[in-house]
Amino acid sequence: MHGGGRMRGGDATAQRAANATAPRIPHLLKRISGLFAPHRRALTVTIVLVLVSAALSVVPPLLTKQAFDLGLFPSSGSPDVPVLIELVSIMVALWIASAALGVWQTWLTATVGNKVMGALRIRLFGHLQAMELAFFTRTKTGVIQSRLQNDVGGVAGVLSNTISSVIGNTVTVMAAFVSMLVLSWQLTVVAVILLPILVIAQRRVGQVRARIATKTQESLSDMTAITQETLSVSGILLAKSFNQQKAEIGRYEAENRNQIRLQVSQQMSGQWFFAMVNIFLSIIPAVIYIVAAYLITGGVDVTAGTIVAFTTVQARLMFPLLGLLRVALDLQTSSALFARIFEYLDLIPAITNKPDAHAVRDTELGRIEFDDVVFRYPDANDDSPATLKGVSLVIEPGQFVAFVGPSGAGKTTVSYLIPRLHDVTSGRVLFAGDDVRDLESDSLVRNIGIVSQETYLFHATIGENLRYAKPDATQEELESAARGANIHDTIVSFADGYDTVVGERGYRLSGGEKQRIAIARVLLKDPAVLILDEATSALDSISERVVQDALDAASRGRTTIAVAHRLSTVISADVIFVVVAGKVVERGTHEELLSSGGMYSSLYSQQLR
C-alpha cells in the first residue's frame, strides 16, 4: 500500500470491503445516519407521522374489547347496538386516518430516501473524479461502474424505509406490549417467552447474508467489467478479429452462473428463519386460547373480549417485531454494500491542492523546468528502478521541444508530470516559475492542452465534443478552431455538419479526422502550453501530413512539447531531448544531434532504413 492506505486495485478493495463488513454495523449506522442530516425537517415530519400512526394502530384492538364486552355481550344480556355503532364508527375513522397518514409517510420516506441515494451517488462520482490518474490505471472501469450503480442502487430500500420502519415498528411494539400487559400479564409472558431465541437466530442469519451479499456484489462487479470490456466497440472488434465471441460468451456465462447461485443463496439464507417466525406467529394464538382456558378454570377473570383483544394486540406486536427483524437483517446484508461504498469514499486522493495553493502567474507563462526529478509509479515495487532518474531541463516560453527515445524510456511520463497527472517522487517540476504542487490544479490545467495518441470522443455530436473544452463557445468560435485544425471543410461536408454524431469513441470518423477534431478542441481551449503525446503515430503517412499541418498551426505562439516516436515529425524542434531508461542522455537541435553521432543519430538512421 501507499499514500495512507490507498488501494492497489479493484479486487484488493473488494476483498478489504468483504473483510470489514459484518462486525461494523454500529459504525456504519452512524455514517448512514449522517447521510440524512440535510433532510432533518422532512425526517421530523416523518417521525411525527410514524409516531401518530403507530399510536393509532393499537387503539382499534382495545376498542374491539369494548365492542365485545359492552356492545355485543354486555352484562345486561342483549347487544347494545348504539354503543356498538359508536365504537365501530371510531374504529373505521381511525383506520381511514391511519391509511391517509401511511400514504403521506410513504411519500416522505420515498422522497427522502431517493434524495439521499442520489446525493450518495453524486458524492461518490465526485470523489472518484478527484482521484489521481494512477487509481484508474489499476482499477477496472466495470468495477467502478458497479460501485456507482449496483452498490448504491442496492441500498436504496434501506435508505428509503429504515428510519420509518424502525421508529414505527418500535413504537408499535412498545404500545402493543403495554396494551398486552394491561389486558393480561399472564398471557403476555406466554406471548413473548420465545422472542430472545428469534433475536439470536436473526443475528446468525444476518451474518451469513452479509457475507453472501459481499460475494454477490463482487460477482456483479466482475459481470459489469466483462460487459464493459467486451461490448464496447474496441472489445467487439477484438473479439470478432480473433473469432473469440464464443469464448467471451462462455466467460460471461460462467460468471452469470455464479451470480445466479449467489442470488439464490442470498434469498434462501433467511427463509428458514422467517419460516420459523411464521410458525411461531401461527402457534401463539392457539397457545393463548389454551392458557386462557387454564386461567379461567383457575379463577382468573379473563373475558371473551379480553381474549379477542389480546390476540389482536399480540398480532400487532408480532408483525412489527417481524418488521424490526427484517430491518435488522437488511441492515446486516446492506452493510456489505455500504462498506464497499464507504471504501471508495474513504480513498485519499494522492494529488490535491495545498491549503495555500495559488493560481498560475502570468510572468514567465509557458516556461517549464525540471529540477532533478525522480519519479517512481506508486504501485511499483520499492526495489524496482525509477521511471525517471534525476531529470533536469528547461523549456523556455514559446519553444517547440521534443522528447524522443526508445519505447518505455519515460517520455510520456515526463509530459504527465507537467499538468500534475502524477506527482514527482523527488525533485521539482516548475511551471511559470512555481512548483506545480504549489499551484491550484484548475489554474494549472487551464493553461495546458493535451493531444494524445488515443483520441477520446464522446458518443455525441462534433459540436458537443468541441464544446467540452469551452461549453459557452459560439458557433463562430467552433468554426475558427476547426479551421485552425484543418477539419472545418471536412465537417461541413457531412450531411449534419457540426451536428454529426461521431459514434462510440468516434468510430464513425477516420483516425485523422478524430485527431484533427481533438486538435480543434484544444485550440478552442487556447492553452499557453500544448502537449502532443504521440499525436500522429497511429496514422498513415497521408493523414499524418494533414494532422501535422494542423499541429504546426496549433503550436504557433505557444510552448509546445511533443512526445514523438517518428523523428520526422520533430526535425524542426527548437530542442530535442533524447530519453533513455529514465534519463536525458542527449539534447540539442536535429542537426546538432545528428552530427554528434549518439543515440539520436542511431535512432534516426534506423528509421530511415
Residues 79-137 pLDDT 10s: 777 878 888 888 888 888 888 887 887 788 778 878 888 888 888 888 888 888 888 87
Q: What radius of gyration, in Å, describes the C-alpha atoms of the chain? A: 35
Q: What is residue 403's predicted lDDT score, i.e. its pLDDT?
A: 93
pLDDT band of 429, cuts 50, 70, 90:
very high
E strand or H helix at 304:
helix 304-345
Residue 582 falls within a domain, yes or no?
Answer: no
- How far is residue 584's CA from residue 605's CA, in Å, rounded to a whole number? 20
E strand or H helix at 325:
helix 304-345
* Cell numbers found for residue 54: 403507530
**Residue among 234, 205, 217 nearest 325 (CA):** 205
Residue 407 falls within a domain, yes or no?
Answer: no
Q: What is residue 444's predicted lDDT score, i.e. its pLDDT?
A: 92
What whole-number percentage of the chain has pLDDT above 90? 14
Q: Residue 150 is which amino acid?
A: N
pLDDT band of 157, cuts 50, 70, 90:
low
* Overall average pLDDT of the 371-384 stretch: 80
- How far is residue 243's CA from residue 245's CA, in Å, rounded to a whole number? 6
- How far is residue 169's CA from residue 149's CA, in Å, rounded to a whole number? 30
**Residue among 387, 392, 386 nearest 373 (CA):** 392
Region of residue 218 (phi > 0: left; psi between -120 and 50: alpha; otherwise: beta):
alpha
Q: Residue 491 is which amino acid?
A: I
Does residue 380 sit in helix, strand or coil? coil
Residue 309 falls within a domain, yes or no?
Answer: yes
- How far is residue 434's CA from residue 417's CA, in Å, rounded to a whole number? 14
* Cell numbers found for residue 356: 495555500
Going from the C-alpha of 360 to that of each of 75, 416, 433, the distances in angstroms are 93, 18, 9
Structural domain count, the chain = 1
> What tens digit of pLDDT does each residue of 287-343 get?
777 888 878 887 777 777 777 777 777 776 666 777 777 777 777 667 777 888 888
Q: What is residue 535's predicted lDDT score, i.e. its pLDDT?
A: 66
Angle (CA) 326-327-329 rounded to 5° is 65
Residues 6+ apart with CB under 8 A from 500: 461, 462, 491, 494, 508
Query: Is the pLDDT at 6 greater than 70, yes or no?
Result: no
Q: Mean pLDDT, the chain, as a whole number?
A: 79
577 or 25: which carries more pLDDT confidence?
577
CATH number at residue 104: 1.20.1560.10
SS3 labels along 396-440: CCCCEEEEECCCCCCHHHHHHHCCCCCCCCEEEEEECCEEHHHEC
* Overall average pLDDT of the 134-141 stretch: 80
Residue 415 falls within a domain, yes or no?
Answer: no
- How far is residue 92's CA from residue 85's CA, in Å, rounded to a whole number? 10
Which of 75-79, 137-141, 383-387, 460-464 is least confident?
75-79
Q: What is residue 82's predicted lDDT score, i.e. its pLDDT?
A: 81
* Cell numbers found for residue 124: 461518490
pLDDT band of 180, cuts 50, 70, 90:
confident
* Cell numbers found for residue 468: 467540452
Q: Residue 147 belongs to what domain range?
A: 10-345
Query: Is the pLDDT at 8 greater than 50, yes or no?
Result: no
Q: What is residue 438's predicted lDDT score, i.e. its pLDDT?
A: 94
539 or 414: which carries more pLDDT confidence?
414
Query: Is the pLDDT at 547 greater than 90, yes or no?
Result: no
Angle between helices 233-241 and 195-230 (to 10 degrees): 70
* Overall average pLDDT of the 384-406 stretch: 90
- How far is residue 538's CA from residue 566's CA, in Å, rounded to a whole number? 10
DSSP 312: H
- How far is residue 45's CA from residue 42's CA, in Å, rounded to a whole number? 5
- Give the length of the chain: 609
Name the pTM for this structure: 0.68
| DSSP β-bridge partners for residue 428 | 371
Residue 325 falls within a domain, yes or no?
Answer: yes
pLDDT band of 47, cuts 50, 70, 90:
confident
How many CA within 13 A on the CB side of residue 33? Answer: 9
Residue 480 falls within a domain, yes or no?
Answer: no
Query: Is the pLDDT at 14 greater than 50, yes or no?
Result: no
E strand or H helix at 388:
strand 388-395
Do the Cβ atoms of 568 and 607 come closer than 8 Å?
yes
- How far is residue 570's CA from residue 563's CA, in Å, rounded to a whole number? 9
**Residue among 45, 284, 299 nearest 188 (CA):** 284
Residue 441 falls within a domain, yes or no?
Answer: no
Residue 301 falls within a domain, yes or no?
Answer: yes
Angle between helices 304-345 and 195-230 (to 10 degrees): 40
